[in-house]
Amino acid sequence: MSHFTTIKVQIKNAEILHECLEELGYQVDRNAFVRGYNGDKTEAEYVIRQSNGYDLGFRRDGENYELVADFWGARINQQQFVNSITQKYAHKTLMATVQAEGFNVEEEETLSDGTVRVVVARWV
């Protein structure tokens, strides 16, 4: 019986996802197996290895990615983990869009609650 659980995340761009994981300090394997309970495995495009033998993986599900892991053994705070990745992803996606649309970042600050405030402008 598989113990793997999936969590849908609002992440579409594989390249930005990979950059985010690495910038957050994770060692990422590409196109590998996620290890779980009792030697169970499932495939994922991006896999974060953990020393306890319970890995975290991201795999494409339609247009978006999903996080797959045996969370019982992974022993991580799921919400905190997902929040850190989605916040970094949203920031990197915003910055890429800002640049592509011809805007300049005028101001950027991280508020006490962890929210990132970005002010952009464009000369017309």
Helix 14-23 / helix 78-100 crossing angle, nearest 10 deg: 120
The mean pLDDT of the chain is 93
List, in order of start, the domains of the chain with CATH numbers: 5-121 (3.30.310)
Is 1's pLDDT higher than 60? no
pLDDT tens digits along 77-98: 999 999 999 999 999 999 999 9
